[in-house]
Chain A
């Protein structure tokens, strides 16, 4: 089992070749190979897979705009580049990644549970932004940041599962949140791993900040506090309601500052329960999966 700087290095090598989640690849291929696919379907299927979404956006930016992350929204990419271009990019991303996939050792994280948790946080964060009457143009950022917040767990799971297992065991034994267990057992956290991914994929600094600080929001001094705090709330909601599972059996209730800055009460968050479940059901039906 490796930890600390050795762990960081091992993950860095892996991050470039990360495959999309198995849940959506089948649907993506079906959608992208159908000439009658609508922009709505395409937008939906890509958005629902955090790895694919991130990779497609990275590809769009590097293929057309060099190093500056010009396009940060999939909707805008479809408008600017057209349906067929984005379809082709999605297919090549999904196919290449699947073809290059190594057979993993036993997965510590249940990937479908991970997907469900990520989707729940994305959906909840976006619904919360609507409650707070955030500009519709920015609501999508809330979804994306929520969807991608735990990405750091994937390379830990796929490349260094023994390390992740050690963290899980520490969390169970000491009854502490996974984040703290990672720090204790590995001297490295999934938040840091997530930030490595975001840096590598050149996604916006909002997505990076959320990935890095979603377990220690009060230490954050940047410009995306609202976004970060919203995802923190959404993450707690998903964990408490046990919608999906991302390895946290002992989630920490967000500090009062998070609630007060957002002007949201826990009752308001809980009240979103039905809407969140509806969105998730719709996604499951769409992707034709049974979890």
Chain B
């Protein structure tokens, strides 16, 4: 299995001279598996547009495009590129789309395909030439054929969001985004008038256990691509509950899980190339000699 990162930015695309090295496209990942370079795409941020260009140049030359797109969740930065993915306009394309839908929300085809309405875009879903089928996903294990196995796990984010673990031929690749570490949301100050001792105690245990489950989900993975939008300092200052992880958390929990290569992604829109360079160097300096795990900051175009 090989991956190429087509978008490593979170929240909103960030073109400009300050973001050229790490890239400004929002999240999109290309996964190639056996046999014959089978194509799987994870998320359709703005980075899926150039991926579409590549796919037309390589896969389409060999025949109709067949692919599966797995959405981690339906926040805009992970779906915005979909109308610009050229294969959806090609009649012979066969596409299966998978993703979680938050309860009570519209079904997946409305949420993703719903971007293709006249008020937003000049082509409607009904006018697409490709054959597209939508599949709602929850926590599950799937046999994708060709010895490729998929396991999904709910992450911690304001809407239903799935982590994906792909395994084939003894190799495993895991995505953990978008994700914020679980924490005890209940009041823990005994002097507070609303303090409920059993809720506080149970909350503490629940948060620890759920975090452990995520750690286990990453266990011994060859590559983990992990949400890391903030430093611990930024997070504690005013980003609690925003749905994202810190570099420190991602590094610590991946290390405990025995991950071989950790790729830190979902860069904050405000983060410049120089800042990311500095962060990468600093964190690598801090962990030098303490772990066999490789820690890399995700860059657009990176191949692993």
Q: Which residues of A contact B (CB under 8 A)?
A: 38-41, 43-44, 59, 63-66, 73, 75-76, 78-80, 82-85, 88-89, 92, 126, 136-137, 139-140
In the complex, the answer to whether B202 meets A92 with C-beta atoms within 8 Å is no
Name the CB-closest residue of B to A47. B199
Encode contact with A along B101-115: 1 for CB under 8 Å, 0 otherwise.
Answer: 011100000000000
Known: A40-B187, A65-B138. A79 touches B210 (CB 8 A): yes
The residues of B that contact A85 with a CB separation of less than 8 Å are 102-103, 158-160
In the complex, the answer to whether A43 meets B199 with C-beta atoms within 8 Å is yes
**Extra A-B contacts (17), CB below 8 Å, given A38-B187, A75-B206, A89-B104:** A39-B199, A40-B195, A40-B199, A64-B138, A64-B139, A66-B138, A73-B206, A75-B198, A75-B199, A79-B184, A80-B154, A80-B206, A85-B160, A89-B103, A126-B198, A136-B202, A140-B202
CB distance from B205 to the nearest CB of A (A): 6
The residues of B that contact A39 with a CB separation of less than 8 Å are 185-187, 199, 203
Per the bound structure, the CA–CA distance linking A25 and B185 in Å amounts to 24
With contacts defined as CB atoms under 8 Å apart, how many contacts are there between chain A and chain B in the complex?
A: 81
Place the interface of chain B in its size category.
20 to 34
The residues of A that contact B203 with a CB separation of less than 8 Å are 39, 75, 78-79
Q: Which residues of B contact A (CB under 8 A)?
A: 102-104, 138-139, 154, 156-160, 182-187, 194-196, 198-199, 201-203, 205-207, 210
- Give 28 CB contacts A-B under 8 Å: A38-B187, A39-B186, A39-B199, A40-B186, A40-B195, A43-B196, A43-B199, A63-B103, A64-B103, A73-B202, A75-B186, A75-B198, A75-B199, A76-B210, A79-B183, A79-B207, A80-B182, A83-B185, A84-B158, A85-B102, A85-B158, A88-B103, A88-B104, A89-B104, A126-B198, A136-B201, A139-B198, A140-B202
Per the bound structure, the CA–CA distance linking A63 and B102 in Å amounts to 8
Per the bound structure, the CA–CA distance linking A88 and B103 in Å amounts to 9
In the complex, the answer to whether B156 meets A40 with C-beta atoms within 8 Å is no
Per the bound structure, the CA–CA distance linking A65 and B185 in Å amounts to 22
In the complex, the answer to whether A65 meets B186 with C-beta atoms within 8 Å is no
The residues of A that contact B154 with a CB separation of less than 8 Å are 64, 80
CB distance from B162 to the nearest CB of A (A): 11
In the complex, the answer to whether B160 meets A79 with C-beta atoms within 8 Å is no
Name the CB-closest residue of A to B102. A85
In the complex, the answer to whether A137 meets B139 with C-beta atoms within 8 Å is no
Name the CB-closest residue of A to B197. A136
Name the CB-closest residue of A to B243. A82
CB distance from B176 to the nearest CB of A (A): 16
CB distance from A242 to the nearest CB of B (A): 27
